[in-house]
Amino acid sequence: MKAIRLIQPGRPLEMQDVSIPSIGPNDILVAVKAAGICHSDAHYRLGRSPVHPLPMTLGHEVAGVIETVGAEVEHLKAGERVCLHYMATCGHCEYCLKGSEQFCKTGKMIGKYRDGGFAEFIAVPARSAFVLPPEIPFEHGAVMMCSSATALHALHKARLKPGETVAVYGAGGLGASAIQLARASGAQQVFAVDIKTAKLDLARQLGAIPIHGAQLDPVSEIRRMSGGRGVDVAVELIGLPHTMGQAFKSLAIQGRLAIAGITEHGFQIAPYWDLINKEAEIIGVSDHLAQEIPELIEWARRGTLDLSQVISRTVPL
């Protein structure tokens, strides 16, 4: 089969001819119909984030049709449309058992630590697959499995409740989902901060109040538009110390900041004013959970989560 592989960081990906993966008794083989190209894939190609062993077939946002199922797989059958959770996990370690399987002791992300979906076929544990209803196109099913799932996990980690207010820092792929999911969860007011006008226009269309972070100070704008209160939940999806600081300062009393943007650099907080005095919280968001995917699929099926504008371009394998 054809597969698009990372051979060496810093070099273009290459099309290779590889064998169709074999499956174990608890695995499934999926004929890939759509695979998202994520910003992380650009990081992997550049060597900014580890990928091993090499060569590796990239692609961690995958949807397709089941080709074959392993001997012990009972809940899925050939011909079913599925989308794939990107963590291939063991299902029985301490973390898998308590529902935090992103920390699975032997877990491997597809397209990073085991072959991914930029190929004609992919093999994954059957527990990674979720049936994709006919109303959801494969393309949506694919991108949903990364940016939308992580956005939903961030809102869950921040314990967003109906009637609360939200600030989304970063209105890209993750942000477009975060805005829609926050609104679907009953957020009363959603602010979207970005420095790209096109992204802010999309944020407005999705029902957020756009704030241009380069033209205005988002912290004072959010305070001004919330009657001085700030927001109950802020999500940082950019990965910059500066915007993490702004997101934290945007919080209301007992506000929660969930950080999903990635950086190795620190950001400063004033513990008395910004943390203690408000009983504010800073929460880390690592990937997402398989158990969150059915909720996501249901919102996409109903059209509450519309991903048509997140897909900017489609290219053949």
| Positions in the binding site for Zn ion (CB under 5 A) | 38, 40, 89-90, 93, 96, 104, 146
Write out the two tokens for 83: 């989308």
Q: Least distance in Å: CB of 101 to Zn ion?
A: 6
Q: What amino acid occupies position 12? A: P
Residue 77 phi, psi (nearest 5):
-140, 160
Tokens 């915007």 belong to residue:
243
At its nearest, how many Å lie between Zn ion and the CB of residue 105? 6
| Cα distance between residue 298 and residue 135, in whole Å | 10
Residue type, 165: T
In the structure encoding, which two tokens stand for residue 144, read together? Answer: 């949903």
Residue closer to Zn ion by CB (options 94, 279) is: 94
Cβ proximity to Zn ion: between 95 and 267 the closer is 95
164 or 236: CB nearest Zn ion: 236
What is the distance between the alpha carbons of residues 208 and 219, in angstroms, rounded to a whole number?
A: 16
- What is the smallest separation between the CB atom of 148 and Zn ion, expressed in angstroms? 10
Helices (H) and strands (E) in the chain, counts: 9, 16
The residue sitting closest to Zn ion, measured at its beta carbon, is 38
In terms of CB distance, is 145 or 280 closer to Zn ion? 145
Question: Considering beta carbons, is residue 40 or 246 the nearer one to Zn ion?
Answer: 40
Exposed, middle or buried, 266 (CB in 10 Å: 0-12/13-18/19+)?
Answer: exposed
- Nearest distance, CB of residue 147 and Zn ion, angstroms: 6
Q: Residue 93 or 131: which CB sits closer to Zn ion?
A: 93
Least distance to Zn ion from the beta carbon of 35, Å?
Answer: 10
Least distance between Zn ion and beta carbon 264 (Å): 19
Q: For Zn ion, which is the closer residue by CB, 37 or 155?
A: 37
Q: What is the per-residue DSSP string for 250-297?
A: TEEEEEEEEE-S--SS-----IIIIIITTT-EEEE--S--GGGHHHHH
Are the C-beta atoms of 151 and 220 separated by less than 8 Å? no
| Contact status, residue 234 vs residue 257, Cβ threshold 8 Å | yes
Q: Provide the minimum distance between the beta carbon of 80 and Zn ion in the complex, in angstroms, as a whole number.
A: 23
